[in-house]
């Protein structure tokens, strides 16, 4: 097995976190009624995705090949439809956001346990490479309590 390439691994890790599954859809704000809507795979074996809102019945589809997201954006979107993420909260003057519960798990584990030990995350080098790119305000020890309570508030919204 070849040694992991840090650059391509980072890409892969980010892609995995930004890609919805049926168990972990991306949570977005419904463009029609502002309720919580879900971005999830449209069909197996393709990249196609669907957004559905159970509150108003809004639905749309995208082929999933064109994706755009800003990892340090102050107004982050789902990357497929350009919809606002549901999981957003202001925290120490910034926007803390996550795609879904799985993404919250990764952020929470890191912020709670590994601020002082960057190299030693439970997830090993995969998540280490992701979190090494988190904005500094999130990884600062001085903000740990604020970031953790913001993450807890987001979890309440999932
Ligand atoms: Zn709706």
Q: How far is the CA of 127 from the centre of ligand 1 (A)?
A: 33
Q: How far is the CA of 39 from the centre of ligand 1 (A)?
A: 12
Helix axes of 101-113 and 144-157: crossing angle, nearest 10 degrees: 160
Q: How far is the CA of 9 from the centre of ligand 1 (A)?
A: 36
pLDDT tens digits, one per residue of 27-55: 999 999 999 999 999 988 888 999 999 99
Highest-scoring range by mean pLDDT, 4-13, 108-117, 136-145: 136-145
Q: Is residue 114 predicted with pLDDT exceeding 80?
A: no
Q: How far is the CA of 36 from the centre of ligand 1 (A)?
A: 7
Q: How far is the CA of 84 from the centre of ligand 1 (A)?
A: 13
The CA distance from 39 to 82, in Å, is 11
């Amino acid at each position: 097995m070849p040694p992991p390439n840090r650059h391509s691994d980072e890409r892969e890790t980010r892609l995995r976190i930004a890609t919805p599954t049926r168990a972990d859809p991306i949570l977005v704000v419904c463009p029609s009624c502002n309720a919580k809507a879900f971005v999830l795979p449209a069909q197996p074996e393709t990249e196609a995705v669907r957004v559905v809102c159970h509150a108003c019945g809004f639905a749309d589809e995208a082929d999933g090949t064109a994706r755009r997201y800003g990892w340090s954006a102050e107004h982050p979107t789902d990357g497929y439809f350009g919809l606002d993420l549901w999981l957003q909260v202001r925290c120490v003057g910034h926007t803390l956001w996550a795609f879904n519960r799985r993404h919250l798990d990764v952020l929470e584990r890191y912020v709670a346990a590994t601020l002082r030990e960057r190299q030693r995350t439970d997830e090993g080098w995969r998540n280490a490479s992701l979190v090494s790119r988190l904005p500094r305000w999130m990884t600062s020890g001085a903000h740990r309590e604020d970031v953790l309570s913001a993450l807890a508030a987001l979890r309440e919204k999932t």
